[in-house]
Amino acid sequence: LSESAGTRRCRIIAVANQKGGVGKTTTAINLGTALAAVGERVLIVDLDPQGNASTGLGVERHGRAISSYHVLLGEAGVSEAVVGTIIPNLGLIPSTQDLSGAEIELIEAERRAFRLRDALRGRPGGPRKRLDYDHVLIDCPPSLNLLTINAMTAADAVLVPLQCEFFALEGLSQLLATVRKVRANLNPSLDIQGVVLTMFDQRNNLSGQVAADVKSFLGDKVYETIIPRNVRISEAPSHGKPALIYDHRCVGSRAYMSLASEVIRRERAALAAA
């Protein structure tokens, strides 16, 4: 690639799982905050019409005049859509309910699976855009719809949060099949960056069994860091703050710091291999 030596290259990660309530948004917010806390420049793209990442980062409705909807429809550029957050180094492209109509509005659009990719990286043949970030985390909706396909088409890799519950592995094969399809048709270099186990309950034997099963099935794709179920994590969004700001000492916050250092290690290895 034509980037001069010393330029840090941005890695784009889609945080995806078609199941709702598995910890996608919590992971995007707290991993993003943990990365920013160690000096990485981070952008979170809220690609869920529910806008939980925007709310959880304290960006109120009136701060969402330009949103991911406008970026997908080509009505705004990335830099126009980014708003600051209470965390230095952490920008957000917010979302609104409008996004739920984007799928239909894009049905006849050209390059409809590439809208986010074109916005983040530049259109093919044109100049490659240089993003002022080290990591872009895309918070996907709980579905394998066109929004998630846009995220996977734009991304270097997919990060999958998996809840430690009995049906954790069900649905994973569908997700992996989607990744293979995106790779075959839209984005050949899409990688599975890793699987992170979330909401692990120490007192529940099932959690331990699920974690062991997932590790034997997915091997070293699974992060060593396991995110525990932690009430401070679930309280934080109602204060419009990441758990890492709300209570940086709680076990959940510490787990996300540890996940961040693993992510940085994997990302650097992926960049070195590229």
* Positions in the binding site for ligand ADP (CB under 6 A): 20-26, 52, 142, 198-199, 227, 229-230, 233-234, 237, 252
Pick the closer one to ligand ADP by CB: 76 or 259.
259
Decide: helix, strand or coil at residue 196: strand
**Which residues, at least 6 apart from 173, have a Cβ–Cβ distance to it below 8 Å?**
none
To ligand ADP, the closest distance from the beta carbon of 143 in angstroms equals 11
To ligand ADP, the closest distance from the beta carbon of 248 in angstroms equals 15
Which residue is associated with the tokens 């309530």?
Answer: 21
Q: Quick one: which H or E segment has residue 92?
A: strand 90-93
Indicate whether 230 belongs to the interface with Mg ion (CB under 5 A).
no
To ligand ADP, the closest distance from the beta carbon of 234 in angstroms equals 4
Token pair in block for residue 132: 């002022």
Pick the closer one to ligand ADP by CB: 202 or 234.
234
Nearest to 232 by CA among 210, 255, 207: 255
Q: Which does 96 bind (CB under 5 to 8 A by kind): Mg ion, ligand ADP, none?
A: none
Q: Which does 233 bind (CB under 5 to 8 A by kind): ligand ADP, Mg ion, none?
A: ligand ADP
To ligand ADP, the closest distance from the beta carbon of 247 in angstroms equals 12
Residue 14 β-bridge partners: 138, 158
| Cα pseudo-dihedral 179, 183, 186, 190, rounded to 10 | 80
Cα separation, 122 vs 130, in Å, equals: 9
Indicate whether 163 belongs to the interface with Mg ion (CB under 5 A).
no
To ligand ADP, the closest distance from the beta carbon of 155 in angstroms equals 17
Which parts of 33-52 interact with Mg ion (CB under 5 A)?
52
Pick the closer one to ligand ADP by CB: 148 or 153.
148
Pick the closer one to ligand ADP by CB: 26 or 96.
26
**Binding test (CB under 5 A) with Mg ion, winner from 11, 19, 24, 266:** 24
Q: Which does 241 bind (CB under 5 to 8 A by kind): Mg ion, ligand ADP, none?
A: none
In this chain, which stretch among 16-24, 96-104, 174-182, 240-248 interacts with Mg ion, using CB under 5 A?
16-24
**Is there a contact between 145 and 103 (Cβ–Cβ < 8 Å)?**
yes
Which residue is associated with the tokens 């304290």?
Answer: 58
Q: Please, what's the b/e burial string for 241-271 (b: 16 or more CB within 10 A of its CB; e: otherwise)? A: bbbbbbbbebebbbbbbbbbeebbebbeeee
Interacting residues with Mg ion (CB under 5 A): 24-25, 52
